[in-house]
A and B are shown apart, each in its own frame.
Chain A
Amino acid sequence: MTAIASMQGVLKRYGPQVALDYIDLDIGEGEIVGLLGPNGAGKTTLIQVMTGMKPFEQGKVTLFGSSGNPFSYANKEKLGLVTQEITVFEELTARESLLFFAGVYGLKGKEKKNRVEEALAFVGLEEHAGKTPNKFSGGMKRRLNIACALTHRPRLLIMDEPTVGIDPQSRIHILESVKRLRENGTSILYTTHYMEEVQAIASRVVIMDQGQVIKEGTAEQLIQTIQHEEKVRIDVSDPDKVPVVSLLNIAGVKKADLSGSRITVVSAAGSGNLDRILSVVKAHTGVLGIQQDKPNLEDVFLTLTGKRLRDKEEEQ
């Protein structure tokens, strides 16, 4: 896949503190790269370096394959940035804000108006286009924040935690919009510390911590790297009739424990024996419910770094 943006050995320091530690990162054409990391991992610094806002000590940044200045106006015209903070003009209506940005990107006349209406419709704000953001909910402001980066149809869209502090409905709307953008051919770098978002939309996941890329791959690939066993919990109607010994005889099963009316069966990863386990159980007792534990990106992160992606307070 052709890299639309790449960083090679980028080192960025804030005084003695290393923010980006010889980072290598590629974003392919039409790819959604999910950049996952806890607060302070270096995600925002990476974006600031990639957009030319912050200088860096060593390494190379290439945008759109050009060998010259990566932050030239020509390259910036193909780049869209959705900032972490809501950066919309409080005194301008949604439509006026978009007209401002469309004008900066050199759009004129009818095309400018059409692109603005297109961006408003894309984020579902067409009915609120004449209102100023002080009449918007947090989610609507976030959507306007995204629309401001879309009027010029960027080839690469960089989204820095675009769903922080919003309601679930707006979050779903934003995630759906991101998927549609990808379908239209836009490459996206999506940073977040919500692993479920990355799992839902990213074609590739990059995990960052302490200024370093510690692992990358598809969500499935990353999960497989830590998946050593599979666990299934089965609630049964008659626990006394559960054939624990028969379950232990199934190939791949490591452990079978009965606790109350629930039996927990642990198998080796990839043994694919759920059907066999169920048929053995069903032959002796009724099955009331099944729950299969699968590791997620949170577990991957925990395994790799020994830390959680979000603090407990943040989750609340």
Chain B
Amino acid sequence: MRVLATIPFTLLRMVRSYIVLLLLLAMPILLLTVFAFILKGAVTETGEPYLYQTAITMVLTFQLFGGSIVMSYIQTDFFSEFRARIFALPFNRTMYAFSIMMCGTVYSILMGLILMAYTQFVLGVAWTNWLWAIYILSLMSILSSVVYLIITFAVKSFKTAERLSVLYGVSFVTLAGLFFPMPDNAFFRFMGSYGNPLALSVEAVLNMSRSNSGGAWFQANLLLAVTVVLFALMLLVGRRRMA
């Protein structure tokens, strides 16, 4: 498998992309630190520090944008001038694209893990069940990569694809009611709960920490199902575009 030989270099390329580090690691660390100061001492009705839920939501929110890494490298290698070079190489291009997707997803999960570690060991946030949180974080990261790739494959102009992908992230953050409260009707209630991957992932983590494992699994499985369906869609759209 010649694609395997490319993986260390794909990871190196990603690690050296300082803009990604700035946007998906440095910025959340800064924001989390600011929120930790603002919310110091504030607790919810159940006595839980406000920072807990805020930190968990923020870490998962940035996973919504993790797909931008994969999007950027797939665009460079398959839809820019690089395309000719890649086509001339004696390897399976689909596997190469898949390896980029996997590297980008793993890298995004790693950044999420760093954020989790930072919030727990520096800011004192209790993640309670780390394994569960990592599972949900991974689901969010895979989903984000899949959605970003669908957009990349479906839209010809990369600028438009970039804008649509930002719209994807910002819309779900907004619909989750993180910027301002949403109107109280059936549509917004759905889009702020079961119809929103961010809301699903946050609730899955919180439910598990509150020992509501049934609710947590239900939300996680919904997230998994959406990911599987969109993955199949991504394969279809991708095959058409890569041909």
Contact = CB atoms under 8 A, between A and B. Distances in A.
Contacts of A80: 88
A105 B87 contact: no
Given A99-B9, A103-B2, A76 B90 contact: yes
A48 B6 CA distance: 24
Interface stretch (A4-12, A85-93, A278-286): A85-93
Interface residues of A, number: 30
Nearest to B87: A53
A189 interface: no
Given A87-B81, A103-B5, A104-B2, A79 B12 contact: no
Contact of B5 (A96, A104, A160): A104
Interface string A65-92: 0000000011011011101111101011
Interface string B1-40: 0100110010011101100000000000000000000000
B232 to A, nearest CB: 27
A79 B84 CA distance: 13
B12 A76 contact: no
B190 interface: no
A100 interface: yes
A148 B14 CA distance: 20
B6 A100 contact: yes
Given A76-B89, A100-B6, A85 B13 contact: no
A212 interface: no
B9 A106 contact: no
Contact of B17 (A76, A85, A86, A91): A91
A191 interface: no
Interface in B95-130: none
Given A91-B17, A96-B9, A51 B81 contact: no
Nearest to B16: A91
Given A96-B12, A100-B6, A104-B2, A52 B87 contact: yes
B218 interface: no
B91 A92 contact: no
A53 B88 contact: yes
A74 B2 CA distance: 13
A77 B2 CA distance: 12
A210 to B, nearest CB: 22
A48 B90 contact: no
B90 A73 contact: yes
A77 B90 contact: yes
Contacts of A73: 90-91
Nearest to A160: B84
B163 interface: no
B84 A104 contact: no
A80 B82 CA distance: 14
A87 B80 CA distance: 9
Contact of A89 (B13, B81, B83, B89): B13
B81 A83 contact: yes
B4 to A, nearest CB: 8
Contact of A76 (B83, B84, B88): B88
Contacts of A92: 9, 12-13, 16
A91 B83 CA distance: 17
Nearest to A44: B84
Interface of A: 47-48, 51-53, 73-74, 76-77, 79-81, 83-87, 89, 91-92, 96, 99-101, 103-106, 148, 160
